[in-house]
Amino acid sequence: MTELLAYFNGKITISDKIKEKLNEIIIEKKLVKGEKILLDNSIKKEHIFVTNGCLRSFYKTEDGKEHTIQFAIKNWWISDYMTLYTNNTSVVSIESVTQSKVLIIEKKSIEKLHKMYPEFETLQRKNFEKRIAALQYRILSLLTLSAEKKYNQFIKDYAEFEKIIPNYQIASYLGITPQSLSRIRKKRIKNEQNGICINSYIYVFISSKCTNKSINH
């Protein structure tokens, strides 16, 4: 629970009473790669905080195609927000992409904590506002950015896991096909290699100029 306290302490001061209550309601769970922590059509209402590893939420169509909605890494929250805040069953599944560790807090436990400690409710509201803003940014990115720009942003956000996450999951998250992702990656590698070659040429050229000057002098 130390990871969650560190996360909260960066935003507000957590009293000893809140710490004690959090310790009572938090469930710590270790997940193996591929383990599902939430299945679609479930009624589980839980807030999930990632302390290590990487999780993803995804929607599966009737024909079996998966659409990745969110990846969550250290210090990120993940849930099925439709079932969390409505009376509907879950429409997405949540699974561990890597070996991971999470902290789970049931919605009813959080609500009791809010009534007891209003300052904690304020913190949770601010967190929720950030999630809404992040969701809007993701929607706008999907609608307006090119495939290459979306991939570049993905690398920036998930640099540690970009080589670990399966290609089809990354492609579905970006809203492109695995084939398109492969082409983008090849182009990026080629550009990086060309950049290295150009930099090496410039270095050799400058070095030779300096050497010639030394000899002439």
In sequence order, which residues have a C-beta less than 8 Å from that of residue 12 and are 6 or more positions away? 119, 120, 122, 123
Q: Nearest 5°: phi and psi at 148?
A: -65, -40
In sequence order, which residues have a C-beta less than 8 Å from that of residue 59 and are 6 or more positions away? 40, 66, 67, 69, 91, 92, 93
In sequence order, which residues have a C-beta less than 8 Å from that of residue 75 and are 6 or more positions away? 3, 7, 49, 50, 51
Provide the CATH topology of domain 2-144. Jelly Rolls (2.60.120)
Prediction pTM value:
0.82
pLDDT in tens, 64-79: 899 999 999 999 999 9
- What is the sign, positive or negative, of the torsion defined by CA atoms of 49, 166, 91, 35? negative
pLDDT in tens, 97-136: 999 999 999 999 988 888 888 877 887 888 888 888 988 9
pLDDT in tens, 138-168: 899 999 999 999 999 999 989 889 889 999 9
- Helix (H) or strand (E) holding 59, with range, is strand 55-60
Mean of the per-residue pLDDT values of the chain: 85
What region does 75 belong to: left with phi over 0, alpha with psi -120 to 50, or beta? Answer: left
Alpha carbon distance 50, 48 (integer Å): 7
